[in-house]
Structure 1
Amino acid sequence: MNELSFSVPLWVWAAVTLGIGVMLAVDLIAHRDNHVIGFREAAMWSGLWIAIGLGFGLILWAWQGGEASSTYYAGYLIEKALSIDNVFVFALVFSFFAVPDAYQHKVLFWGVIGALAARLVFIFIGAELLQVFFWTAYLFGAFLIWTGYKMAVSKDEEVHPDRNPVVRLVKKIIPTHPRFHGDKFFIRVSGKRIATLLFVVLVAVEATDLIFAVDSVAAVLAITTNTFIVWTANAFAVLGLRSLYFCLAGLLRRFQYLHYGLAVLLAFAGVKLILSETPVGKLPIPLTLGVIAVTITVSIAWSLIATRGEDSDSGETASRTAHRADTQPHPATGAHASAPSAGPHHPEGRPS
């Protein structure tokens, strides 16, 4: 375990959290008209979010030195890599529910807010458990290794987001209309407040990301239990998730072997966590950074080389993974096409 420790004043926590809130507000205002986000616009926003994430590492370097900065970058890189897995599943959810392109960003925006909240809770709980009970490192490590194994051996299977137990529970508790009504999550019918199909989609995205948050946070905690670094690495990586989706939505079929790289990273994080509580001790951060960088590079290069020449549909509107019909019935009624495979693996690798 990386025992990196330094005092973080409360005002720094507040300033960073406020900064994240401001960036979310800017993103919301920039897309308040619900326009369809094309590849070029998504790429520009992705570049901005990545620049901010990398820039924060430089701030850490100036404030706390190279070890803190290197640890942050290791956590940021592994979280950014794992966020690509989120994109695969989001594409499947949007395709399954036939979400119009113009409304996908709103779902992802509120989905990211929920993801940040869940990660913040998991970070403090996980860090406290690892600090107080040494044996939890073995549990978390085994969980990461098992998740990596499941991701590596999972196969393409049809996914049914509406069968998610959380989605089914919400539909039982909250009256739901089986159609989209613009970008509204709720409408009033005969004076009663009723959820729209877009709200069901949001619940599906949140429920899926809740599972993602567990192994993502555990993977970064395997690098360090410093809650400030774990939180900022997760937050700055997740901030760019929406833009990353619209960048990669049309390219997902080319990432056929990326899941093997992600599986290796999860298993490596699990082994690292277990070794931290043995005589071997914590692995050096430079080694961790090297393994992460090489694994990501090799798996992406392998995928792109193996699929070169294939139609990636990465034109001006790479985000077109859903139909545009605002009146599309709820998939559960039977009026839908099966969600196409958006990637090489089934989300079962990170169970939903």
Structure 2
Amino acid sequence: MQSVSGWVWLLTVLGIVGLLLFDFFFHVRRAHIPTLAEAARWTAIYVAIALLFGLGVTIFAGGQSGAEYFAGYVTEEALSVDNLFVFLLLLGSFKVPRADQQKVLLVGIAVSLVARTGFIFLGAALIESFAWVFYIFGLILLVTAGNLLRQEGNEEETPDNIIIRGARRVLRTSDVYDGDKLFTYQNGRRVMTPMLLVMVAIGGTDILFALDSIPAIFGLTQNVYIVFTATAFSLLGLRQLYFLIDGLLDRLVYLSYGLAAILGLIGVKLILHALHENNVPFINDGEPIHAAEISTGLSLTIIVAILLITVVVSLLSPKGRAQTYVAAARRHATEFLDIETDPAYCDEIFHKLVYEESRLKTLPERYRARIRAEDELMDLLHRAHELHARRVADGRCFVPAWAGPPASEAGGN
């Protein structure tokens, strides 16, 4: 499948653009908070489209091309889930209202898709001209794998990078949102809202992720069409996936270890392939080295096995359960205090906060003791309860029948 006709490329690109436009006009144009059922339904639809496309590749181009596509898609989807951690922190950092997060994500994903397409063709051109690029890609993945292991446990840090810092300096914005508008009027002057800045942050951050993901998929296949389609389909369902699993993201405590293993595997695979194509003068006098290579089928099997083990172990881990409850309580308290202004949704958020606090009380004592020792979290929960009490006194909301004191007051028993 190394040669794909122009009309196949055209139909594929039109199909992907059509899916993006459909997503915008039928889901994102009207700001709303997707229900769990809606997110699950559309995530399943986008995954089904990706799998059906892979089945078509297998039928029309053969089993080898099909295996390359599925290996690339699974790897890119796994890396995309890791990206969602950063998206979650970014949206919280910029205090984006929940109803407006869909548009931010979709625009950011569209920008990333365009940029990644450029990276894909650039990478293909480099590989075509310089065989030693495989060494570079392999080393990038091995270094990234090491960084993932070192960064384990630091997920709570606010994400920041050169693109976000540059956008903050260049894009002068107002301090408040005006729905999902990019521009608003403030003191009679037309100014940009933070919405544009957060879209740049999401898109720019995802472009930086491409520096890892593009070498990873080139380690599984050098077919540009497969690289492009696997990357595109992994991004298309990312918005729906975010709303489906954002409550479970913190539960995947060992995901970084799994991704590090996958990137390490592909990095080794790339270097082994580079040895076969070797023409670097100071390595074996520029002659190829016939080392054993890892087949695409074996790579796909190992990648799926690593992901399954990582997810199962994470879900069974008491540490994961504690981290999930704490992160959810912190997120709901922050939304209630600083982000949301809609009274009905604020009421819903407080109900969720009280529920998460009740789950904190079910944790083993050693985890509850650590939670009570987190002064910032305890202060956040107390402020949320105090604000809710004032709103109840003003008649702006009501007390859930099962509400109780904050976790710090009831979690020690």
- CA-to-partner distance for each residue in 1:18-48, whole Å, 9 max, x for gaps? 1011111121122222110122211111100
Structure 1 residue aligned with 2:53? 56
Structure 2 residue aligned with 1:198? 195
Superposed displacement of residue 103, structure 1: 0.5
Between 97-106 and 277-286, the greater mean CA deviation after superposition: 277-286
* Paired residues of 2:68 and 2:220 also in contact (CA < 8 A): yes
Aligned partner letter, 1:22: G
* 1:172 and 2:169 aligned: yes
Where 1:276 maps in the other structure, the secondary structure is helix
Aligned partner letter, 2:168: K
1:290 corresponds, among 282, 298, 301, to 301
* Paired residues of 2:251 and 2:321 also in contact (CA < 8 A): no
Superposed displacement of residue 93, structure 1: 0.8
* 1:21 and 2:17 aligned: yes
Consecutive unaligned residues in structure 1, runs of 5 or more = 314-318, 328-336, 341-352
Structure 2 residue aligned with 1:93? 90
Aligned partner letter, 1:153: R
Superposed displacement of residue 119, structure 1: 1.1
- CA-to-partner distance for each residue in 1:216-235, whole Å, 9 max, x for gaps? 11100001111000000000
2:190 and 2:269 map into 1 onto residues whose CA distance is: 50
Superposed displacement of residue 6, structure 1: 2.7
- CA-to-partner distance for each residue in 1:271-324, whole Å, 9 max, x for gaps? 1111002222642111011111111101011101114765957xxxxx968454
- CA-to-partner distance for each residue in 1:90-119, whole Å, 9 max, x for gaps? 111111122110010000000110111111
Where 2:107 maps in the other structure, the secondary structure is helix
Superposed displacement of residue 181, structure 1: 1.2
Structure 2 residue aligned with 1:159? 157
Structure 2 residue aligned with 1:10? 6
Structure 2 residue aligned with 1:325? 340
2:126 and 2:3 map into 1 onto residues whose CA distance is: 20
- CA-to-partner distance for each residue in 1:53-102, whole Å, 9 max, x for gaps? 00001111121111111110010010011100111111111111221100
1:76 and 1:247 map into 2 onto residues whose CA distance is: 19
Aligned partner letter, 1:291: I
Aligned partner letter, 1:97: F
Structure 2 residue aligned with 1:347? none
* Paired residues of 1:261 and 1:296 also in contact (CA < 8 A): yes
Where 2:301 maps in the other structure, the secondary structure is helix
Question: Which structure's CA Rg is the greater one?
Answer: 2
* Paired residues of 1:219 and 1:269 also in contact (CA < 8 A): yes
- CA-to-partner distance for each residue in 1:181-231, whole Å, 9 max, x for gaps? 110122345775422111111121112111111111110000111100000
Q: TM-score, normalised by structure 2?
A: 0.73
Matched-pair identity in %? 39
2:233 corresponds, among 228, 236, 253, to 236
* Paired residues of 1:180 and 1:326 also in contact (CA < 8 A): no
Structure 2 residue aligned with 1:334? none
1:152 and 1:174 map into 2 onto residues whose CA distance is: 34
* Paired residues of 1:179 and 1:326 also in contact (CA < 8 A): no
Where 2:274 maps in the other structure, the secondary structure is coil
- How is 1:102-251 mapped onto 2 (pairs within 5 angstroms)? 102-157=99-154, 158-161=156-159, 163-189=160-186, 193-251=190-248
Consecutive unaligned residues in structure 2, runs of 5 or more = 276-289, 326-330, 343-375, 381-413
Superposed displacement of residue 166, structure 1: 2.0
2:189 and 2:6 map into 1 onto residues whose CA distance is: 44
Where 1:103 maps in the other structure, the secondary structure is helix
- For these two proteins, the number of residue pairs brought into alignment is 320
Structure 1 residue aligned with 2:312? 301
Structure 2 residue aligned with 1:343? none
Where 1:181 maps in the other structure, the secondary structure is coil
1:309 and 1:165 map into 2 onto residues whose CA distance is: 34
* Paired residues of 2:112 and 2:204 also in contact (CA < 8 A): no
Q: TM-score, normalised by structure 1?
A: 0.85
2:87 and 2:102 map into 1 onto residues whose CA distance is: 11
1:210 and 1:49 map into 2 onto residues whose CA distance is: 22
Aligned partner letter, 1:25: L
More helix by share: 2
